[in-house]
Chains A and B, each alone.
Chain A
Amino acid sequence: MSPEAVTRLPVTSDVQISGARHAVREAAIAAGFSLVEQTKLVTAASELARNTLVHGGGGHMEITTLGRDQRGIRLTFTDSGPGIPDVAAALSDGYTTGQGLGLGLGGARRLVNEFAIDTGPGRGTTVTVASWPRGARRVTL
């Protein structure tokens, strides 16, 4: 397997959420995602980056291209904020702490092929998502 290309970006301001969207869009185009596939992944990234900023107090995003043909994309959002006490509740629609429409985390999950979250009170939150363009060979998250 060829070495994975990793890009790491800070997420500490609303301008950097915008920067994260641009970086994910570029990676998705390079990986051969269709326009709709790009839009889904970029929208998911926007939701998750905002969570990192607003609920996690800021953190970073990593973009990794996956697989031999480098057509999959994995995004990891990491913060060292308070963590999410009840993940199931946070993933359900309507859960909100005031921002957005309460669809951030659950909505992002519906826009990607794979979704994983590692969080708990006092230990921050890491959300990992991965998507592939239609027809690409998938490797596991």
Chain B
Amino acid sequence: MDRIPILRLGRVLLASIQQELTDDIALALQQDLTEMAAAGADGVIIDISGVDVVDSFLARVLSEIAAAARMLAGETVVAGMRPSVAITLVEMGLSLRGLRTARSLSDALSALGLGEARIQGRS
């Protein structure tokens, strides 16, 4: 089974979903992120700009990742939700309560105190 790679940017974990997300891959991401958060991190970013459908299952997985990360590491920011996905979630009645979102990856990094300039400065 494929797994979503998780990058470590300082004390922040970054998972960018760029592939078709089956339920098993989503659950594996939840497990991997939670374990890495427990091993030491101050925040989690999940980039969903490549995700064209968020159904109630994936919404639940994202909420649970955020809930676990809040206890272990800190804030989770979901970045890059497509407008069509946002409209659909609202119509479905899913508000993703408790989930912090950011328009882009760079906004998410800023939100967690890891600005773009600092990242670029390191490379």
- A residues adjacent to B (C-beta < 8 A): 14-15, 17-18, 21-22, 25, 35-36, 38-40, 42-43, 46-47, 50, 93, 99-104, 106-108, 110-111
Contacts and interface: CB of A to CB of B under 8 A. Distances in A.
A51 to B, nearest CB: 10
Interface residues of B, number: 24
By DSSP majority rule, is chain A's interface helix, strand, loop, or mixed? helix
Contact of B56 (A18, A40, A107): A107
A35 B23 contact: no
Contacts of B20: 18, 22
A103 B88 contact: no
B87 A103 contact: no
A111 B88 contact: yes
A99 B88 CA distance: 19
B59 A101 contact: yes
A99 B27 CA distance: 12
Contact of A18 (B22, B63, B82, B92): B22
A50 B94 contact: no
Contacts of A99: 57, 60
Nearest to A39: B84
B53 interface: yes
- Where chain B touches its partner, the secondary structure class is helix
A18 B25 CA distance: 11
Contacts of A104: 56
Given A14-B23, A18-B20, A107-B94, A47 B55 contact: yes
A102 B63 CA distance: 14
Contacts of B54: 43
A39 B53 contact: yes
Interface in B38-81: 52-57, 59-60, 63
B24 interface: yes
B88 A36 contact: yes
Interface in B78-101: 82-85, 87-88, 91-94
B22 A17 contact: yes
Given A42-B53, A107-B93, A100 B60 contact: yes
Given A17-B23, A18-B22, A36-B87, A46 B53 contact: yes
A36 B84 contact: yes
Given A17-B23, A39-B85, A110 B92 contact: yes
